Amino acid sequence: MDDPQSDPTSAPEQSPPTGPPSRSGLIAVLGSIGYIVGAYVFTFAVLIVLMIGAMLYLAATTGTVEQFNSIMEGESYVLLAGLESGLLGLGAFGLAALSAARGWIPKPEFGLSRPTPRQIGVSLLAIAGLVVLQAALSLASSALGISASEHSLIGGDVSPYYYVALAVISILVIGPAEELLFRGLIQNYMRPAFGSTGAIVGTSLLFSSLHLMAYLTTTLSAAVVSLGVVFVLSLAFGWLYERYNNLYLVMWIHGGYNATLFLLQASL
């Protein structure tokens, strides 16, 4: 009789690894860029289709597209901003589902848990601290004779309700969409290759660079200063995500920070 101990077929099966897969730095960078390209291509492709459809509808029903032009300017632009962020979030959600299914980012790595009361308290302190930090960095740049540029959503002859609407959209759409893409996907994808610190820095570089067009409202030097502020803020978002491993928490902090700035703008 054969000894069952010597039979290789009787050996217990090894469980597959459950942690994040290892990957090279090059793959981590290319994959992160791929996430960005995929999410934004989806966003703008759907936007273009919707805009063409809206123009064709207006041309057929009214004989003009002037109403469409009005949406692209002034207070109505907030609708387009909300739609764009919503589509970005939808694209990022699809990529997150694909990444979890393929094992590129195990589902537990996303940190999808309800924030604790302590974490909610931390989030309120973080929002206040980030607003103070943003103001301090802006004052420091002004003292050096380099003024930061305003975001393209700020300015113009608009009512306070415009900024109130942006504040609501920031909490419900902008913060969640951007954090799902940059912290949930990119930071998690970079971590196996670069470690936590490297992932935070790499993600923040990508996050700030993608805001260039939004801040290119005056001069390039002013935009660079603003991007520096965005980079520092992104480092804070990344650190908070690593510290608490809670994606919902940083979504709320990001959205709450943006909303606070918009509400302060509404009060001016």
Q: How confident is the model at residue 73 (pLDDT cuts 50, 70, 90)?
A: low
Structure tokens at 218: 């005056």
pTM: 0.86
Give just the sign of the alpha carbon dihedral 126, 132, 135, 136.
negative
Q: Which residue, chain included where needed, has tokens 């897969």? A: 21
Residues whose CB falls within 8 Å of the CB of residue 228, separated by 6 or more in sequence, listed in order: 137, 141, 208
**Cβ distance 166 to 262 under 8 Å?**
yes
Tens digit of each residue's pLDDT (9 = 90 or more) over 87-127: 999 999 999 999 999 999 999 999 999 999 999 999 999 99
Mean pLDDT, the chain, as a whole number? 86
